[in-house]
Structure 1
Amino acid sequence: MTEHKHLLIVYHTQSGNTGQLAQAVLRGAGQVAEVDTVLMRAFDAGTEDLLRCDGLLLGTPENFGYMSGALKDFFDRTYYPCEGKLTGLPYAVFVSAGNDGTGAVREIGRIANGYGWKQVAEALIVRKSITPQALTDAEELGEAMAAGLSMGVF
Structure 2
Amino acid sequence: MARLLIVHHTVSPATQELLEAVLEGARDDAIEGVEAVARPALSASAADALEADAVVLGTPANIGYMSGALKYWFDLVYYPALSAGRAVPYSLYVHGNDDTAGAVRAVEGIAGGMGWRRHRPPVRVTGAPGAPDRDACRELGAVTALAALDM
Count of residues paired in the alignment: 149
Following superposition, the deviation at residue 101 of structure 1 comes to 0.5
Structure 2 letter corresponding to 1:96: H
For residues 77-107 of structure 1, give each alpha carbon's deviation from its aligned partner in whole angstroms, at most 9, with x where no partner exists: 1112332214311001100111220110101
Unaligned residue ranges in structure 2 (runs of 5+): none
Structure 1 letter corresponding to 2:98: N
Give percent identity, aligned residues only: 38
- In structure 2, what is the equivalent of residue 128 of structure 1? 127
Distance, in Å, in 2 between the alignment partners of 1:52 and 1:132 is: 32
For residues 54-87 of structure 1, give each alpha carbon's deviation from its aligned partner in whole angstroms, at most 9, with x where no partner exists: 0000000000010000000001111123322143
Distance, in Å, in 2 between the alignment partners of 1:108 and 1:101 is: 11
- In structure 1, what is the equivalent of residue 13 of structure 2? 16
TM-score (norm 2): 0.93
Q: Secondary structure at the match of 1:121?
A: coil
Does 26-35 or 78-87 show the bigger shift?
Answer: 78-87
Distance, in Å, in 1 between the alignment partners of 2:110 and 2:49 is: 14
Conservation of the 8 A alpha-carbon contact between 1:8 and 1:55 = yes
Distance, in Å, in 1 between the alignment partners of 2:54 and 2:85 is: 10
- In structure 2, what is the equivalent of residue 88 of structure 1? 87
Unaligned residue ranges in structure 1 (runs of 5+): none
Distance, in Å, in 2 between the alignment partners of 1:64 and 1:56 is: 24
Structure 1 letter corresponding to 2:39: M
Instruction: State how 1:39-78 maps to structure 2 within 5 Å.
Output: 39-78=38-77
Distance, in Å, in 2 between the alignment partners of 1:99 and 1:27 is: 26
Conservation of the 8 A alpha-carbon contact between 1:12 and 1:70 = yes
Instruction: Tell me: CA distance 1:139–1:86, structure 2 relative to 1, closer, same or farther (3 Å).
Output: farther
- In structure 1, what is the equivalent of residue 23 of structure 2? 26
- In structure 2, what is the equivalent of residue 117 of structure 1? 116
Following superposition, the deviation at residue 16 of structure 1 comes to 2.7
Distance, in Å, in 2 between the alignment partners of 1:81 and 1:141 is: 26
- In structure 1, what is the equivalent of residue 96 of structure 2? 97
Conservation of the 8 A alpha-carbon contact between 1:24 and 1:139 = yes
